């Protein structure tokens, strides 16, 4: 095998997050403006063949894990075809999917057969009315049906992503923890990140995840470290004593995990992003057909990847060493 993809800080990159579309059927408050966005035209989206070509090159350099994201990846037609193409690439061992769950239930079995092994489902509230407000119109019944269907078809693990927001859903911490007690699910609380909008609205809603452990202490819950759930990456994992499931804390702002970052990102319009937060991008689409050129672009991206993302400085309104991205989360890939 060729030399693994390693940056100047010694971080080995074996994980690629692939956004397959910037479109989404929801308008979540932390991800997209209320009036929506101007989406890229279809011809600007990477084709399945182009995505597979990039993955084949990276697999030879040690990339073994993939995650398909969006936007909402299930608005991309025939996604199962792409999954089958990627699962056939030598060296690819794991393909995960991040989805809002609205369209997952009727396609879960086909996606499992094509090669998806595990899913992350966004679920920022367990209350139907609040879920509709946060997502600006989402139907929680469809998401709950998708979680049940994911259990049935055998996705493992099943993770529920909860962006914790002050004054919006922080009063549901106990409800989500009770869910882990009753079912073998992993709830992952995620800090609200300033991707594309480090404004006062973000600062006013930001809540450090110490709030989750504080809740556990105040409720008298016995919390113990949990075994690492496969693919959990930066999550710190815990279990309430006797619970069937577990919960994780992902705190990119209050306690960043950049020192162990192993991921690169490929946007739906064909740009390599070495870091989610900074503006740096490299257009890999023009290199399709030249494997060495693709390798060089990824190596260039790693050469300029910063040591950390400095989101904490954004919270404090402090000066930052690089330029934060103006792209919203849906345009990058979560």
For the segment 247-254, the average pLDDT, to the nearest whole number, is: 79
State both tokens at 14.
Answer: 């074996």
Sheet strand arrangement including 271-273: 223-225, 236-240, 246-250, 186-191, 158-164, 118-122, 94-99, 65-69, 15-19, 263-266, 271-273, 282-283
State mean pLDDT over 319-324.
60
The DSSP symbol for 231 reads T
- DSSP assignments along 78-89, one per residue: THHHHHHHHHTS
pLDDT confidence of residue 319: 61
Q: What percent of the chain has pLDDT over 90?
A: 70
CATH of domain 15-332: 3.20.20.70
Q: Which two tokens stand for residue 329?
A: 């989360």
Contact in structure between 264 and 15 (CB atoms under 8 Å): yes
Instruction: Tell me the mean pLDDT in the region 52-57.
Output: 98
Contact yes or no for 212/247 (Cβ under 8 A): yes
Determine the pLDDT at residue 235. Answer: 84
DSSP 298-316: HHHHHHT--S---HHHHHT
Q: Is it the case that residue 290 has pLDDT exceeding 90?
A: yes
Structure tokens, 301: 């991206």
Range 168-192 average pLDDT: 95
pTM of the model: 0.90
Domain residues of the chain, as ranges?
15-332
* Residue 326 binned pLDDT confidence (cut-offs 50, 70, 90): low
Q: Is the pLDDT of residue 5 over 80?
A: yes
* Cα dihedral 77, 79, 85, 89 sign: positive
pLDDT at residue 65 is higher than 90: yes
């Amino acid at each position: 095998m060729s030399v693994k993809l390693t940056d100047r800080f010694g971080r080995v990159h074996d994980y690629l997050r692939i956004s397959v579309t910037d479109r989404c059927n929801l308008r979540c408050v932390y991800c997209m403006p209320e009036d929506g966005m101007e989406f890229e035209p279809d011809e600007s989206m990477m084709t399945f063949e182009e995505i597979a070509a990039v993955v084949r090159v990276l697999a030879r350099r040690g990339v073994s894990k993939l995650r398909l994201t969006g936007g909402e990846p299930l608005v991309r037609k025939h996604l199962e075809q792409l999954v089958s193409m990627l699962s056939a690439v030598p060296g690819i061992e794991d393909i995960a999917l991040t989805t809002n769950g609205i369209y997952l239930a009727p396609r879960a079995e086909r996606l499992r057969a094509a090669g998806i092994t595990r899913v992350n489902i966004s679920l920022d509230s367990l209350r139907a009315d609040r879920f509709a407000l946060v997502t600006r119109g989402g139907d929680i019944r469809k998401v709950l049906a998708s979680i049940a269907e994911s259990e049935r078809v055998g996705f493992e693990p099943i993770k529920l992503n909860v962006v914790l927001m002050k004054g919006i859903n922080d009063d549901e911490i106990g409800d989500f923890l009770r869910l882990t007690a009753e079912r073998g699910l992993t709830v992952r609380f995620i800090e609200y990140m300033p991707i594309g909008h480090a404004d006062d609205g973000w600062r006013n809603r930001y809540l450090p995840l110490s709030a989750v452990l504080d809740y556990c202490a105040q409720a008298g819950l016995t919390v113990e470290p949990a075994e690492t759930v496969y693919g959990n990456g930066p999550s710190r994992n815990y279990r309430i004593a006797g619970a069937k499931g577990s919960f994780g804390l992902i705190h990119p702002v209050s306690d960043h995990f950049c020192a162990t970052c192993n991921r690169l990102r490929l946007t739906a319009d064909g740009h390599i992003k070495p870091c989610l937060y900074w503006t740096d991008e490299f257009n890999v689409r023009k290199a399709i057909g030249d494997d060495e050129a693709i390798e060089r672009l990824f190596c260039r991206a790693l050469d300029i990847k910063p040591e950390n993302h400095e989101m904490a400085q954004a919270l404090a309104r402090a000066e930052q060493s690089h330029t934060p991205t103006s792209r919203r989360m849906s345009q990058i890939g979560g």
